[in-house]
Amino acid sequence: MGGNNGARQTLTPAGYRSRIAEKDAERALGTARALLIEGPKGCGKTWLAKHLARSEVLLEHDPAARALAEAEPHRVLEGPVPRLLDEWQLVPALWGAVRGTGDARGLPGQFILTGSATPADDLTRHSGALRIRRLALRTMSLAERGWSTREVSLAGLLRGDAVAAGRTGRGVPEAVDALCRGGWPGFDDSVPTAHIVDALRSYLADMARTDIRQVDGVARDPVRVRALLRSVARNVSTAANLNKLASEASPGASLGRHSVRAYLDALEMLHVLEPLTVWPTHLRSRSPLLKSPKHHFSDPSLAVAALRASPERLLADPEACGLLFESLVIRDLRVYAQAAGAEVFAFGDVGGTEADAIVDGGDGRWLAVEVKLGGSKQIEQAARSLLSVKGKVDETKMGAASKLLVVTAADGYSYERPDGVAVAPMSALGP
């Protein structure tokens, strides 16, 4: 990647803020022939790709280039490398062309592809294994926005490092404002929160009206799409089943569970929704694990927009506020975990034992997380739940927990309790 320094001076957009995923992207370009960056529209994929690229083709904004790509896809691949092909899925034939050209050149770091939608024929396209590396780019975490002090490192938690940090000066009101604003790099700190929420309502409306057709060409009723988004938003951070989502989206039963499943699949391919799947683990007991994933938007601000909520309304509704704050923490844990080579899962069994998140390092290291707005009673409850989770997991097969962590929205210290459970505010977490 050493030859890219000059390119960054010319292609890096003004106002670009460094992303945690940059290191993963650079490593991928050093080994794979192409890098595919996927994520929701507006999360900063193009800016990150421009920061790494030496030339570009912007298919969404250049009709002439798109027409050429459709007619002769190999011709748009010529240029200094890495060459950015932005919104490549608008010309699906580019996948095969990139794969073939990369094979012919036999060198890493040839192309960067970005996409806001996963084409419906994804499974039928020629495999990009060992040729095209995928990288998920999410909206900006609190650490990337400069909102967090980063004093409590997720990588350090996986190592079992001690937790000790001072107060951050940010409490529940600031956390609620942060989840309403989201992590969208296009909005700087000067934009009022209410204006961002209004913009995100328009974002969802445009997605329901036009973008959702991109994934498979199927026309869907935008009114039903918006109704389903509201239903998912009301059930964020829960494992509500299809029947519940359908009944809340369409009280008149005009939207069936099979339609809900198809809509959810399309919304996931658009990277609007990112469900949290269940941790595949071994238990000491015979109590079976719950299997349904938990519902999450790719950014909790989209759930706020779908609900037409505001910081003031959420502060007056602690239950809804707590679930949305949990979703914010999940988003950030996913960003930090990816940088550490880890994954984030949900955990729960039919006996009622659960954790809001499990961060699995994939090498026998794992930590369990409970999320609470704050308060000593909530922290005590969360600590008991985490200790119960630890007692249920078969550590002879999964390894011992590196850490049990309660994440709060309150302005407090980061510390470890006598029972071994660590407590840290969201505003102290980092990669």
Give dist(CA 284, CA 261) in Å, integer: 33
Residue 5 pLDDT exceeds 50: no
Q: What is the mean pLDDT of residues 107-117?
A: 92
- pTM score: 0.93
Chain position carrying tokens 């007056």: 316
Kindly report, residue by residue over 278-287, the tens digit of the pLDDT.
Answer: 998 888 877 7
pLDDT band with cut points at 50, 70 and 90 for residue 143: very high
Least trusted range by pLDDT, from 19-23, 178-182, 216-220, 333-337: 216-220
pLDDT band with cut points at 50, 70 and 90 for residue 8: very low
One DSSP character per residue, 186-240 reads: TS-TTS-HHHHHHHHHHHHHHHHHTGGGGGTS----HHHHHHHHHHHHHTTTS--
At 126 the pLDDT is 58
Cα distances from 233 to residues 117, 277, 303, in angstroms, run 21, 17, 5
For residues 134 and 129, which has the higher predicted lDDT (pLDDT)?
A: 134
Judge contact between 310 and 206, C-beta under 8 A.
no
At 72 the pLDDT is 96
Give dist(CA 51, CA 45) in Å, integer: 10
Highest mean pLDDT among 62-76, 247-261, 279-293: 62-76
345: three-class secondary structure by DSSP: strand
Q: What is the mean pLDDT of residues 361-376?
A: 94
At 282 the pLDDT is 82
310: three-class secondary structure by DSSP: coil
139: three-class secondary structure by DSSP: coil
At 115 the pLDDT is 87
User: How far from each other are the two terminal CA atoms of the chain, in whole angstroms?
Assistant: 23
Judge contact between 416 and 138, C-beta under 8 A.
no
Give dist(CA 390, CA 283) in Å, integer: 10
Phi, psi of 322 (to 5 degrees): -65, -40
Phi, psi of 56 (to 5 degrees): -150, 155
Least trusted range by pLDDT, from 73-77, 106-110, 138-142, 216-220: 216-220
Kindly report, residue by residue over 372-420, the tens digit of the pLDDT.
Answer: 998 899 999 999 999 999 999 999 889 999 999 999 999 999 999 999 9
Give dist(CA 136, CA 391) in Å, integer: 33
Among 419, 392, 421, 417, which residue's Cα sits nearest to residue 404?
A: 421
Task: Quote the tokens at residue 191.
Answer: 């934009």
CB atoms under 10 Å from CB of 404, counted, come to 25
